[in-house]
Amino acid sequence: MKIFIDSADVWAIKDAYETGLIDGVTTNPTLIMKSGRHPEQVYQKLKDMGIGDISMEVVGNAEAMISEGRRLKAKFGDCATIKVPCTPDGLLACRTLSKELIRVNVTLIFSTAQAILAAKAGATYVSPFVGRLEDNSHSGVEVTRSIVDVYKRHGVHTEVLAASIRDVAKVTLAFWNGAHICTIPPTVFEKMYNHVLTDAGLKIFDEDHKTTFPTERVGGDMDALGDISYPPITGTDDGFTYTINTDDPLLDIDFGDYNEDDPRIGFIP
Ligand code: E4P
């Protein structure tokens, strides 16, 4: 299960890549245009970051795509994945480049039939465009599932790279339906961390941590913890509720040896 970032914005990609959770990047001519940079400047910066799988889209007829694919592979080495469209020319290029052990991502896939042809042409990845299918009242997730199913039945090694993903729910659905990879915009990746219950739960845990073990108040100095006073700790054990009054942060009371004269412990009826 791999996550790629779908962008040519090198700063946004850097932020995402530094999380350690990103396996690659996909670009396309529109994303490159929006970045305001020359394509090769983008690829070089991504390579310098250490990104090991960068989809670089080529254009033109089969001959042009093949020679540009070879040139990009020679220039950028193993991080270069050549992206070609699912057209007769694109698949001819795919076949030739794949035979030369160059990774090829066949893009603009909108049907299982196209994915079958791409696999026959030796594609490393096929990219069904989930969002654009949904924009046109087709289930992009269903097309993804169908491609995954056909590939599994026939022992095809081509990986399904769900693309054109616009929200977190589609990431989950694409993986749930067997996609090997999802390529997602940085904004969608950031949102994958979020859940309102995580925020609410963390707020409570942080407050409780500060109350019971306030290392922040002594700058993390464990020795100084003994110098600060603690509010009584209230807890429950075996059906009774108690309070512990102590300035010893490491106090460990064994209730088995409880002595009712122990001034540190009080019971709440
Ligand atoms: C990725 O390979 C595609 O180029 C990209 O996901 C397309 O996304 P869009 O439909 O949001 O433009």
- What ligand 1 atom has the least distance to the C-alpha of 105? 2
Q: What are the phi and psi torsion angles at 127 (to 5°)?
A: -115, 90
Residue that finishes a domain, picked among 161, 191, 221: 191
Domain with 257 in it: 229-268
> Atom 6, ligand 1: which residue's CA is nearest?
164
> Atom 9, ligand 1: which residue's CA is nearest?
164
- Given a cut of 80, whether residue 215 has pLDDT beyond it is no
Same domain, 25 and 87: yes
* 24 falls within a domain: yes
Instruction: Give the pLDDT of residue 71.
Output: 98
- Given a cut of 80, whether residue 221 has pLDDT beyond it is no
How many domains does the chain contain in total? 2
Same domain, 28 and 161: yes
Same domain, 30 and 92: yes
> Which positions ≥6 away from 208 have C-beta within 8 Å?
none
Q: Which tops the pLDDT comparison, 234 or 7?
A: 7
Same domain, 162 and 251: no
Same domain, 6 and 109: yes
* 18 falls within a domain: yes
Active site residue 83: yes
Same domain, 60 and 136: yes
Residue that finishes a domain, picked among 191, 220, 238: 191
Instruction: Give the pLDDT of residue 239.
Output: 73
Same domain, 114 and 15: yes
* 251 falls within a domain: yes
- Given a cut of 80, whether residue 46 has pLDDT beyond it is yes
* 245 falls within a domain: yes
pLDDT band at 232 (very low <50, low <70, confident <90, very high): low
- Averaged pLDDT of the chain: 90
Instruction: Give the pLDDT of residue 167.
Output: 97
* 263 falls within a domain: yes
Same domain, 113 and 242: no
Least confident of 17-21, 133-137, 189-193, 213-217: 213-217
State pLDDT tens for residues 163-190: 999 999 999 999 999 999 999 999 999 9
* Interval between CA 99 and ligand 1 midpoint (Å): 26
Q: Which of 83, 170, 191, 203 is catalytic?
A: 83
Q: Which tops the pLDDT comparison, 181 or 247?
A: 181
Predicted TM-score (pTM) of the model is: 0.82
* Interval between CA 135 and ligand 1 midpoint (Å): 12
* Interval between CA 165 and ligand 1 midpoint (Å): 7
Instruction: Give the pLDDT of residue 258.
Output: 62
* 219 falls within a domain: no
Instruction: Give the pLDDT of residue 209.
Output: 77
Same domain, 62 and 171: yes
> Atom 5, ligand 1: which residue's CA is nearest?
164
- Given a cut of 90, whether residue 235 has pLDDT beyond it is no
Supply the CATH number for residue 122's domain.
Answer: 3.20.20.70
Measured from CB, residues less than 6 Å from any atom of ligand 1 are 6, 26, 28, 107, 127, 129, 131-132, 163-164, 183
Instruction: Give the pLDDT of residue 18.
Output: 98
Same domain, 9 and 99: yes
- Given a cut of 70, whether residue 141 has pLDDT beyond it is yes
- Which of 3, 164, 189, when mutated, tests ligand 1's pocket best, judged by the most ligand atoms within 8 Å of its CB? 164
Q: Which tops the pLDDT comparison, 30 or 227?
A: 30
Least confident of 69-78, 81-90, 97-106, 210-219: 210-219
Instruction: Give the pLDDT of residue 157.
Output: 97
Range 240-268 average pLDDT:
65
Residue that finishes a domain, picked among 172, 191, 210: 191
* 139 falls within a domain: yes
- What ligand 1 atom has the least distance to the C-alpha of 132? 10
- What ligand 1 atom has the least distance to the C-alpha of 83? 2
- The whole-angstrom separation of Cα 206 and Cα 64 is 58
* Interval between CA 156 and ligand 1 midpoint (Å): 24
